[in-house]
Structure 1
Amino acid sequence: MTLYIGREASKLWKRVCAETTTEINLLADNWKYILTGLILQYIHGLAARGVHYLHRPGPTLQDAGFFLLPELGEDKAYISETVFTFAFLSFVMWTFHPFIFKSKKIYTVLVWCRVLAFLVASQFLRIITFYSTQLPGPNYHCREGSKLARLPHPESVFEVLLINFPRGITHGCGDLIFSSHMIFTLVFVLTYQKYGTKRCIKQLGWLVAVVQSFLIIASRKHYTVDVTVAWYTVNLVVFFLDKKLPELPDRTGGASFLLPLSTRDKDSKTKEESHKLLNGNSVDPADWV
């Protein structure tokens, strides 16, 4: 029994090391895209923080979802965030599953390049819409009488650039149309829909997206229009952008790991084959030793 556990642990360690080498090679060629995507995530947070300075609380707008769905209350608003956190962490763990499991269909770095592209495109449209018209926020901390509903003028530029993380992210006002939580949720679900292998998890993903939509409205974090616009906008963005991006190489055909190489010639060969992967070309498994 001990021998079996030791042998399996050794195989797992070799798999992790080999996969790490593969992803490092891909990251070396794609770090600019990853870094740009992360920087634009910060810019999106900066824009959301900026519109909070423009927010003016007022009467909550008439909303069909508010009539149909009972209000959860401020003490139960965490339920929506809990579901979102579950979806977020589940997707992140799935993107790193090639480091552990043998049944690999994706490359982690390449998947995140696509995910960041979808997020950035959707968030760019979001910034345009919530700066076009500022609506009175329906959330509890955005209503008249709340100290957080209006932000005082910043005392320095650093106060704006630091965006009061993380409270500035979770207690923002004015960035309504359309829902950022739904952007992330739908991008994750659509990505797994295409590259995932478990049908039951795909169905669960769509169910979580629907439940998340209702919870966002019931917790009064967004108006119904914010969620509705997110559903068709994100789907359209992913549909059209997915056609423009190079397709990911499929690993289910039996492609092996990029194993650590010691000689200069083999290092050069590894880089050459990594470029083939990035271009979507197939790699002959027999080439890898």
Structure 2
Amino acid sequence: MYIAREATKLWRKVSAETTAELQLLLEKWQLLLAGLVFQYIHGLAARGVHYLHRPGPLLQDLGFMALPELGQEKGYLSESVFTFIFISFLLWSFHPFIYHSKRFYTVLLWRRVLAFLVASQFLRIITFYSTQLPGPNYHCREGSKLATLPPPNNALEVLLINFPRGVLFGCGDLIFSSHMIFTLVFVRTYYKYGSNRYTVNLVVFFVDKKLPEMPDRTNGLPLLPVSSKDKDGRTKEELHKLDGRMRDEFHKLLNGNTVDATDRRQRLQMNGKHGEDMSHSVSDATPTGT
């Protein structure tokens, strides 16, 4: 009975989410379709620059000097890590269909993701067609049969991307990595819309523990220590009192509570009254003289 009840709840949840997402898809399908089409255009551009690639000597790079190569027999590790990130993000983006901790709509999420991917990939296409570098990967080096592609026999051969060989063994598109674009966009999206941001929380915890709390400067307190007496001979107590009055005036200015004409008039009247009282008291206390 418990399984049947939970299965019924899950089916209602999936049905409700599917209905809501389909309504959004009918409204926002144009940009989603444009983003998917551009992924194909990006693949064609990467294949086109492979025709122009010419192997050459490896360029000096500090990254390769700092991090040793994995080796040709361990090249699958990079693709395995990227595949895990890609599939994990894909599954996570559809979790609102099952879980109740809903923070976004899947259609709107992928709409934003594809928009970022299109902008980044457009810049990538411009860069690797503007500057063509010899690929450092093993299949792009001199002596490899995959370093250059033979001229196409017809247009259909260019338009048909050989997957996954054309994706995994591309050369010439190396100004910045397509894998890195996807990874950064996925991680940034999860950081913004995810609920369990373990990596970021660990970094914040480490920084909070290792670095002292920053002083609050909104109250106008001085950041440098104050000696017991300043150059005018005022003590700390007098300076704190003066700083308190200045802080009050500062908050009044920030809040827009400036002294208007009515308050000024009342203060003048108060001062005048005190002055009259003081003059009367002085005149009463002064002997008339006989």
Note whether the superposition's TM-score is higher than 0.5.
yes
- For 1:181, the equivalent position in structure 2 comes to 179
- For 1:42, the equivalent position in structure 2 comes to 40
Deviation at 1:165? 2.1
- For 1:101, the equivalent position in structure 2 comes to 99
- For 2:26, the equivalent position in structure 1 comes to 28
> What does 1:10-159 align with in structure 2 at a 5 Å threshold?
10-159=8-157
Q: Which of these residues, 183, 187, 193, is aligned with residue 195 of structure 1?
A: 193
Structure 2 unaligned blocks of 5 or more: 204-290
Deviation at 1:192? 1.0
Higher relative contact order (CA 8 A, sep 6+): 1
The TM-score normalised by the length of structure 2 is: 0.68
How many Å separate the matches in 2 of 1:47 and 1:204?
Answer: 39
SS in 1 for 2:33: helix
Indicate how the Cα distance of structure 1 residues 73 and 46 shifts in structure 2: closer, same or farther if over 3 A, else same. same
Show CA shifts across 1:135-193 (max 9, x none). 00000100000000011100010111002222111110000011100000000011111
Structure 1 unaligned blocks of 5 or more: 206-289
How many Å separate the matches in 2 of 1:119 and 1:36?
Answer: 11
How many Å separate the matches in 2 of 1:178 and 1:35?
Answer: 25
Show CA shifts across 1:205-229 (max 9, x none). 9xxxxxxxxxxxxxxxxxxxxxxxx
How many Å separate the matches in 1 of 2:158 and 2:92?
Answer: 34
Indicate how the Cα distance of structure 1 residues 75 and 203 shifts in structure 2: closer, same or farther if over 3 A, else same. farther
Indicate how the Cα distance of structure 1 residues 179 and 204 shifts in structure 2: closer, same or farther if over 3 A, else same. farther
**Which is greater in Rg?**
2
Q: Percent identity?
A: 72
How many Å separate the matches in 1 of 2:89 and 2:201?
Answer: 14
Alignment check: 8 A CA contact 1:192 1:202 kept: no
Runs ≥4 residues deviating over 2 A: 201-205
